[in-house]
Structure 1
Amino acid sequence: MSNPRVLCLGEVLFDCLADQLGLKLEEVKSWTPYPGGAPANVACSLVKLGTPTGFIGAVGEDEAGNALVSLLQEVGVDTRGVQRHPTAPTRQVYVTRDLAGDRTFAGFGKYDTAEFADTHLQAKQIPESLFQDADFLILGTLELAYPDSEQAIHRALKLAEQYDLKIVLDINWRPVFWQDENIARQKILEILKHIDFLKLTKEEAQWLFDTTDPGAITYRLDSVEGVLVTDGEHGCAYCLGENEGSLPAFAIAVVDTTGAGDSFLAGFIHQLSKYGIHGLSDKDTAKRIVTYASAVGALTTIKPGAIASQPNAVEVEAFLTTNQI
């Protein structure tokens, strides 16, 4: 088996989506589980677009873990980096949705957030061989909240730097995973020293940098090659190389926004793999890459579930030929 070009490290889980819209957690009558977890979403989306990708993370030795590993393999994601924990359960997240389909994390059921298998990802068990031929490492920040998975993040960063991978961070800020917001901010800001590309929402940008301007964030971080700031239905802004710009969102009927940002990131990395980092120095190419990413994100919102709704490359190209921003 040839090594993947992109490695996604983090959580794979079940998003249990409320079947009834506009209700509070205690009012919801039934839930439907959908496979998710931001890094896993990105990995699956990349494979569907045509970029070979591997996933690194931990699940339990349970039915949920078996189902998620099987799904990753069916999609075509390299699972040699998946670890199985003998006693900790595979994570489930309960998600309520408002009348527009936008989601709110509503808890973890009967378990504490630190009890799930993904928090026990072991640094020493990450296969170094996966890094030898890869081009990108994509990380979230949830793993920084737990000692074992935090060590795994730092080992992956060392391996990425050793083998000259570009490191991409999706902030993916979720307060529910953390006990102390100030510690979270401190750990996230510390890890930014290692990052080449940063993707964050408008709210996350405001929280971390007191600005939503990707150019200002790029200037402040100094070492990054690109910053993407997404704002849901309002589109996105970017600073890639010397090129700054903003794009409105595609006008599309939204069913479920879960995983749209992950698909956006996958679209960006897929195009970056196609055009190369040097492509970002061209204004039109940079805009084309972000437009493609926006299309992938938009198409993910027209069906429920983060992974099930992801488009393939043919669908994205067809959409782009008939839809203009």
Structure 2
Amino acid sequence: MTAPEQDLTWRPPARDGRHTVACVGETMVSFFPPDEAALDTADTLALDTAGAESNVAMYLADHGIDARWVSRLGDDAFGRRVLRRVSEGGVDVSAVRTDSRRPTGLLFKSPKDPARNGGTRVSYYRKGSAASAMGPYVLDEAALRTASLWHFTGITPALSPTCRRLVEAALGGERPTVSFDVNYRPAVWQESAAPLLRALAQSADIVFVGLDEAQELWGSALREPGDVRSLLPSPRILVVKDGARSATAFFGDAQARVPALAVDVVEPVGAGDAFAAGFLTGILRGEPVHRCLRLGHITAASALSVPGDHGPLPAAGEIEDLLKASEQDWCSTRWAAGSRAGCAA
């Protein structure tokens, strides 16, 4: 069933007359070869930051949304680098605390790795990190208590038992609207993630999940976005992303689907976070669902076209042109790295 476009609009309640988003989770320093060589043959490494929740916060800030990042960092140069980078992205970092006993997490990324059939390999060094010591007490931070929407991902409950209890507490009891990106990362799990991630998704208001990760978690019988909706009927809004093909949003029994933009992909990591930020921006603005989905695709394209996790958005006028484009023009648009979005020849 597809409802009329104007019926597929919902805006969460504001706090103190405005919409603010608190994103909770770990951010690390990432190392990667600047020339896209394999990690084991690279002569030099570039540095950036990498964290699903801070990625969402920075893209929300890019879109003009009041975004906060809540986390813990080590009292080290890596932690100071992360804090500066996220703060420079326009995000409120006043609820980020420093842990003098635990380090900032690290990751190493190898694009086009032969061991992954030309895909990206990521190696984490985050065990015992400052962020892994977070627990339910984090919910007492003023940045969370005064926010109108909380954003969590399925990465955080895998970091430690206390982080798991944090996410479970955030999704239970009295709380504001909660957005949850399943964001399944097998490398960070020491146990089967499927039952917990399904339970957490069922408890959230807005849920993002890729069709491929849903199949990996809950079975290959989930062939279509509608199958995922049948598995996760509780969220007010469920967004199922089907890779480079499309994304489908379910509002109750109604649904809307928007094809993805064609993109010359430089690096896929971070695109899901960008999509979530774009979609949430549309929701917080009270946009109809097709514009929310398009804004998700536009923001994801910005991440796909850069080697790091965060790329620049097009100018506001260019974004609006894409949001208003006919379906034919939208589907003919190709996004090339280092150039403005435009229609394919």
Which shows bigger deviation, 88-97 or 128-137?
128-137
C-alpha deviations, 1:225-247, integer Å up to 9, x for none? Answer: 12222233223233233332433
**Cα separation, 2, equivalents of 1:89 and 1:315:** 41
Structure whose residues are more often helix by fraction = 1
- In structure 2, do the counterparts of structure 1 residues 120 and 311 end up closer, same or farther at CA, with 3 Å as the change threshold? farther
| TM-score (norm: length of structure 1) | 0.84
Which shows bigger deviation, 166-175 or 2-11?
2-11
In the TM superposition, residue 297 of structure 1 has moved relative to its aligned partner by 0.9
**Cα separation, 1, equivalents of 2:243 and 2:131:** 27
1:21 maps to 36
1:250 maps to 261
Instruction: State the identity %.
Output: 24
Selected match of 1:157 from 168, 171, 174:
171
1:121 maps to 134
Structure 2, unpaired ranges of 5+: 1-15, 332-345
**Cα separation, 2, equivalents of 1:178 and 1:154:** 16
1:67 maps to 81
Q: How does 1:283-322 map to 2 (within 5 A)?
A: 285-310=288-313, 313-314=316-317, 316-317=319-320, 319-320=322-323
Selected match of 1:12 from 27, 35, 41:
27
Secondary structure class of the residue paired with 1:198: strand
In the TM superposition, residue 43 of structure 1 has moved relative to its aligned partner by 0.4
Matched AA of 1:174 = R
| TM-score (norm: length of structure 2) | 0.80
Deviating beyond 4 angstroms after TM superposition, the runs of 4 or more aligned structure 1 residues are: 310-315, 318-323
**Cα separation, 1, equivalents of 2:299 and 2:259:** 14
Over the aligned positions, Cα root-mean-square deviation in angstroms equals: 2.7
Secondary structure class of the residue paired with 1:162: coil
Matched AA of 1:203 = D
**Cα separation, 2, equivalents of 1:193 and 1:56:** 23
CA contact (8 A) 1:300 1:311 kept: no
**Cα separation, 2, equivalents of 1:312 and 1:205:** 34
1:104 maps to 120
C-alpha deviations, 1:208-259, integer Å up to 9, x for none? Answer: 3331433332233221112222233223233233332433221232222221
1:214 maps to 225
* Total equivalences in the alignment: 307
In the TM superposition, residue 80 of structure 1 has moved relative to its aligned partner by 2.6
C-alpha deviations, 1:259-300, integer Å up to 9, x for none? Answer: 11111100000000011xxx6xxxxx2222101211111122
- In structure 2, do the counterparts of structure 1 residues 196 and 28 end up closer, same or farther at CA, with 3 Å as the change threshold? same
**Cα separation, 2, equivalents of 1:105 and 1:312:** 32
Which shows bigger deviation, 250-259 or 168-177?
250-259
1:57 maps to 71
- In structure 2, do the counterparts of structure 1 residues 155 and 311 end up closer, same or farther at CA, with 3 Å as the change threshold? farther
Matched AA of 1:294 = H
- In structure 2, do the counterparts of structure 1 residues 231 and 36 end up closer, same or farther at CA, with 3 Å as the change threshold? same
Structure 1, unpaired ranges of 5+: 280-284
Matched AA of 1:117 = A
1:195 maps to 204
Secondary structure class of the residue paired with 1:106: strand
